[in-house]
Amino acid sequence: MIIHLKKEIPTAEAKQIAHNLEAIRYYNGTHEILITPSATKTLHPDIIAKSDGHWVMDTDIQLASRNYSDTLREIKWGTTTIGGTSKNTPVIAGPCSIESWEQIEESAKLLVSLGITTLRAGCFKPRTSPYSFQGLELEGLKMLAEVRKQYHLNIITEVKDSSHVDAVIEYADIIQVGAKAMYDQSILRRCGEARKPVLLKRGFGTTLQEFVQAAEFILSGGNEQVILCERGIRTFETKTRFTFDLCGAAYLKFHTNLPVILDPSHAMGYAYGVPDLAKASVAFGCDGLLIEVHPTPKLAKSDASQQLDHPTFKQLFEEMKAIAAAVGRNLI
Ligand code: PEP
Ligand code: MN
C-alpha cells in the first residue's frame, strides 16, 4: 500500500508515521511517500482520521501506473536519456555472453564506430541446461569494467541469482533482470535498494499484470528507475523461439509510466528475422532496443542462432535511423 503524505507535513512527523507503520519512506520531489507492506487493517487510525491531504492507494499496480503519475519517467545512464519527454531510442547491442577479451573488444569497437553508447553482455547466464556454458561470472564483470573504461561505453549485464546481485549492481550502469530471474524477489528487492536503472525483462510465461507487479517490487523499494523490456512470450507457436508481443508492449506504453524497450533477438530466436522485427520496433516508437550482435555468431557460446554478425548489424543500424526519423524519434 502507498500512502502519500500531504506536502506540508513536517519531516519528523513523516518519520514517526513511517516508523509506526514499518514503512519505507521516501520523497519523490513533491511529497513524502510511505510504502507499507501492511494492508488497511494495520494502518494507524490516526492516518485515516487525519487523511485530509494524505491519500491512500491500495491496488496491485501503483507506482508504475498512469493513475498514480501520468508523467512518463525519464531514465538516465551515462550520457543517454530515455522516457519522459525524450524521443531517444538507444540501441543497446552486444553479444549474448562475454566470452573473451578479444570478443568483447571487437564488440566494443563496433559500437564505438557507430556512436552507440551502451554495450550488453551477460556474465552470469541463466541457461536452461546445467551442461551449457554458464558465463565468465566475476571474471566477465571485470573485463566489462575494463572495456567500459577503455572505450567509454556504458554497460548492461544481467543478474541470475541473488548470490552475485551486489557485484552486478557495483559493475553495471544498468542492471538487467532477465526473463527467468524476474520472479526472484530477493533480486527485485535488492534492485529496489539500488540507485541505478534496472532493465526488467518479461518472463516468457508472464502476464502483463505479473510483469508490472514485478516492477512494483523495485519501485516500491525506492528505485524510481525501472525500464520494462518485452522479449517474447511462449505461445502455441514453435517455429519461432517465442512470440514477440507488441500488443503487450502497446498495453505497457498506454497504462504505465515506465519506458518500454523491445528485444527482437530473444523473441525471434533466429538471426534472419531480427532485422525486420527491429525495424518494426523502431516504427512502433519503443524507448530503446536490445539486439544481440557477435563477431562470429556461429561460434557464440550462447544464443548462437539469433545473434547478428557485424556487417548485418551495421546495415540494420543505418536502416533503423531512417525509420526513427520518419516517426519523429532519434535513434542513438
Ligand atoms: C539475454 O539477454 O541474453 C537473456 C538471457 O535474455 P532473457 O532473460 O530475455 O532470456
Ligand atoms: Mn541471449
Tens digits of residue pLDDT in 215-245 = 999 998 889 999 999 999 999 999 999 999 9
Q: Whose CA is nearest to atom 4 of ligand 1?
A: 178
Domain boundaries, given as residue ranges, for the chain = 2-55, 75-331
pLDDT band at 35 (very low <50, low <70, confident <90, very high): confident
| Residue 38 confidence (pLDDT) | 53
Name the residue with higher pLDDT: 221 or 214.
Answer: 214
Question: Mean pLDDT throughout 49-76?
Answer: 79
Say what the pLDDT of residue 52 is: 58
Instruction: Write a three-state SS string for 247-316.
Output: HHHHHHHHHECCCEEECHHHHHCCHHHHHHHHHHHHHHCCCCEEEEECCCHHHCCCCHHHCECHHHHHHH
In one-letter notation, the amino acid at residue 257 is: N
CATH architecture of the region 75-331: Alpha-Beta Barrel (3.20)
Q: How far is the CA of 80 from the centre of ligand 2 (A)?
A: 23
What 8-state DSSP symbol labels residue 115?
Answer: T
Whole-number pLDDT of residue 137: 97
Question: What pLDDT does residue 47 have?
Answer: 53
Ligand 1 atom 9: the closest Cα is on which residue? 179
Average of per-residue pLDDT values in the chain: 92
Q: What's the first-to-final CA gap in the chain, in angstroms?
A: 38
Q: Could you tell me whether strands 198-201 and 226-230 are parallel, antiparallel, or unpaired per DSSP bridges? A: parallel
Is residue 2 predicted with pLDDT exceeding 80?
A: no
pLDDT for residue 39: 47
Give whole-number Cα distances, 239 to 15, 180, 277, 319, 320, in Å. 56, 21, 15, 26, 26
Confidence of residue 40 (pLDDT cuts 50, 70, 90): very low
The predicted-structure confidence for 309-320, as pLDDT tens digits, reads as follows 999 999 999 999
pTM above 0.85? yes
Ligand 1 lining (C-beta closer than 6 Å): 96, 122, 126, 178-180, 201, 231, 266
Nearest CA to ligand 1 atom 5: 178
Predicted pLDDT at 8: 74
The grid cell for 43 is 494502518
- The protein residues having their C-beta less than 5 angstroms from ligand 2 (an ion) are 96, 303
The rounded Å distance from CA 183 to ligand 2 centre is 18
Residue type, 231: R
pLDDT > 70: percent of the chain: 92
- Please state which of the ranges 41-50, 121-130, 259-268 shows the lowest mean pLDDT: 41-50
